[in-house]
Amino acid sequence: MASEAEAASTPRAASGLLPRRLNALLLRSEALRGYLLLSPTMIVMIVTMCVPLGLTIAYSFWTQDYLDIDTSFTLANYESALTREIYRALLLRSLMISGTVTVITVLIAYPMAYFVAFHVHRNKLGWIILLSIPFLTSYLLRVFAWKVILGYEGVINSSLIGLGIIQEPLAVLLYNPTSVIITLTHAWAAFAILPIFVSLEKIDRSLLEAATDLGDGPVMRFLRVTLPLSLPGVIAASLMIFIPTVGDYVTPDLVGGRDGRMIANMIRAQFGRANNWPLGASLSLIMMCTVTIISLAYIWITSTLTKRIS
- Per-residue pLDDT reduced to its tens digit, 115-138: 999 988 888 888 888 888 877 888
In a 3-state reduction of DSSP, which class is residue 259? Answer: coil
Look at residue 68 in the predicted model and tell me its pLDDT: 83
* Residue 304: band (very low, low, confident or very high) from pLDDT cuts 50, 70, 90: confident
The greatest distance separating any two alpha carbons of the chain, rounded to the nearest whole angstrom, comes to: 108
Q: Show me where the domains of the chain are located.
A: 86-309
Mean pLDDT of the chain: 87
From residue 87, alpha-carbon distances to 79, 180, 266 in Å are: 11, 19, 8
| CATH classification code of 86-309 | 1.10.3720.10
pTM equals 0.83
Lowest-confidence range among 7-21, 46-60, 98-112? 7-21
Give the residue among 196, 195, 224, 232 at the shortest CA–CA distance from 208.
224
Lowest-confidence range among 160-164, 277-281, 291-295? 160-164
Fill in the amino acid letter for 69.
I
* Residue 22: band (very low, low, confident or very high) from pLDDT cuts 50, 70, 90: low
